[in-house]
Amino acid sequence: MKVFATAIVIIFCFVFFYCCVEATTPVENKPAAEYVGSEKCQSCHSKEYTAYESSDHFHAMDSALPRSIKGNFNNSIFIYYGDTSFFYTKDGRYFVRTNDSTGKKKDYQVSFTFGWQPLQQYLVRFPDGRIQALPFCWDTRPKEKGGQRWFHIYGKEKIPPGDELFWTGINQNWNNMCADCHTTNYFKNFDVSNNSFHSTWSEQKVSCESCHGPASNHIAWTEKKYNDDDSLKGFVISLAGEKVNWKFNTEKGIAYPDKVVHNTTLIETCARCHARASRLSDYYYHGQSFLQSHIPSTINATNYYIDGQIKEEDYEYGSFLQSKMYAEGVTCINCHDAHTMKVKQPLNTVCFSCHAQSVFDVQEHTHHAVASTGSQCVNCHMPVTTYMMIDERRDHSIRIPRPDLSVKLNTPNACNKCHTDKPVSWAAKYFIQWYGDKLPAAKTYGQLMYAVSKNTDESMNDLNQLLTQNYPDIIKATALDQYTEFYSPQLGDEIKSYLQSTDPDLRLNAIRASVNFPADVLLPAITPLLDDPVLAVRTEAMNTLAPLYAQLDENKKQRFEAVMNEYIAIQKYISDRPEGFLNQGIVLAETGRTDEAEQMYLTGVKRFPSYIPYYGNLADLYRAKNLETKSKEYLDKGLAIVPNNGTLHYALGLWYIRNHDETTGINELKKAASLEPANASFVYGYAIGLVSKKDAQKALQLLESFITKNGNDPMILNGLVSIYQDQKNMDKANYYAGIRKNVFGY
């Protein structure tokens, strides 16, 4: 839970600045670097350390002491849905009396503070090593700005005991969700055997060494213990880089670099905590690819709007990689002071380093009075979204506001975020009037992503355009990740080319895009990536190849198993969550180790009895073993926990059909389709069931209704083609086959 991620502003700051990691020859016979603590930095770097003490990084976490506690623990109360929590002190310690996981009142000692502005959370340590985040936050803003009060992190949403978001549950667990970004040198140390944590960390803050790396060899270098020419001064990386000369284009009023150089080391160092990502391992090595220890989210439609604007708590990395600033080589510290993390200069001044004030800070450009709220660059180009009730974060894609696209794409825009009393049509009218002749001729990637998502005749061309033209790599990775249903020889060649990309994120998502390749194409394309140097890439290759494991030759099987062992180690690392056992079971089952998979699922059920995917997977595993009674047993157990789970009803319907009770089976398929009417698999399965009951007409109506409501889908089109062929209605069969070919390429 990276709740106090400092914004990474990305507008040009210096005409001369550093962009790339400095190269050096490693010094031999040097011991492995160790963490020594921030205090060791003060004597030589007092100015930087003093600045750092005022930063969000310094205050990321602290022990619950008078110096750090900002909340009112002076016998104060907070009432949430009629339930009262009580905050008090005793013997110099801080406590809260609130509900436990059973709904009973209990007193908990606060062990740590978590962040400091604009809100502060509090952490409770449990005997099994868990550290949990209380749901009650202190608003640290001044009273006149609405602060100095308790509030619940989920606002008006009621989160009762037993809810997956209740404060004692796994989704509020600090050890897994928060710790790596609020401490230094963190190791989760989850013990699977006794379901406990033995977490360790060097400092409970984001320290100097979090960014620069362990400093023991640097200190040795300062003491001249190494007689060498180490240009990195004992560190393994430099966050500075190659000098780039920036020169103003007087006609445009914008500074451009003489060459574009990306400081990937600096950006990915920040990305560890400023990206929406899954963590693979505690073993982080400074200077290595971000994907050696994390899997970053793409700009998917769950977390972002279709045009890439922030929606869920997305942090800054995914947005920034979309920006023109990143494309030109700008980094986080061009706008932010590296040690205070604050913007280096106030308001528009930071932007004027590379955007001429005479061109951009005028009413002719902003159409707002000079020095007004509407004339501030960030309010138009980096609009705010509020998370955690009061925490305002700016969108770092630094885009042109496009109210003219909001209606069609169903996306927000900066204009209407301020002018909330006006319709989008009003904002669009004036935007086009003022800026229409200045807009780029090419379609935005948001327009293309939206067009692809509609599954029309133009979708394939739009997808090809996204992948082949000059759009950000993060957008190309997203397109590869999200639109795997499309296939054509040209698209197949493009995907294969991305499998060879120097960008590991593009390789990772190209593997995902290849999932529907025929086996004879998939095997030669993906097998070499079992040797990829980046952990996230090779484990994704292994997962993609797992269903084809039996077709690998002996040498490739050995390599596959080595990567599989790495993957299983990752899943053991996350086995404090149910996904760890589930993912192990899946890969074991796919490679024929069904007995081991069964035990993994059963262990998962014992640890996490409410996690429904276990029940469906166990039912499927027992079906494969011809143990139909046990298969139904686990479907029934899952439905007893979540009666309206569409996946389990669908699986139960297939179970009844296999066991010669078609009437009950089709009723279960119908229920699954009614529970999730936009799920193509469920609707298709129900339609095929109707055909088996000699009701092809109803099946056709169902499938055609799906397309009317949800757009084209390859599985639904397959069903229509098949049923119309069976009815000898070749005109209709050819019609839907033509749509499938035109839209999806096959």
d(CA 428, CA 568): 52
Q: Report pTM.
A: 0.93
Across the beta sheet with 76-80, the strand order is: 76-80, 83-90, 93-99, 105-109
Structure tokens at 563: 């990567």
Query: Shortest CA distance to 210 belongs to which of 146, 139, 274?
Result: 274
Quote the pLDDT of residue 227. Answer: 65
Quote the pLDDT of residue 241. Answer: 80
Angle at 600 between CA 594 and CA 604, to 5 degrees: 140
For tokens 């290595």, the residue is 288
d(CA 120, CA 136): 9
d(CA 343, CA 355): 16
Q: How far is CA 7 from CA 341, 563, 670, in A?
A: 8, 36, 48
Neighbouring C-beta atoms of residue 191, cutoff 10 Å: 13
Phi-psi region of 525 (alpha: psi -120 to 50; beta: other; left: phi over 0): alpha
Across the beta sheet with 254-257, the strand order is: 16-18, 243-249, 254-257
Identify the CATH assignment for 457-678 out of 3.40.50.1260, 3.40.630.30, 1.20.1050.10, 1.25.40.10: 1.25.40.10
Query: Shortest CA distance to 702 belongs to which of 731, 672, 745?
Result: 672
- Enumerate residue ranges in the chain where pLDDT < 70: 1-29, 227
Work out whether the CA dihedral 70, 168, 579, 282 comes out positive or negative.
Answer: positive
Query: Cis peptide leading into 524, omega within 30 of 0?
Result: no
Q: CB–CB of 39/53 below 8 Å? A: no
Range list of H helices, 80-124: none
Quote the pLDDT of residue 226. Answer: 74
Structure tokens at 424: 């989008």
Work out whether the CA dihedral 724, 730, 735, 740 comes out positive or negative.
Answer: positive
Average confidence score pLDDT of the chain: 94
d(CA 255, CA 14): 10
Report which residue type is found at 184: T
So where are the chain's domains? 16-22+240-396, 61-197, 457-678, 679-746
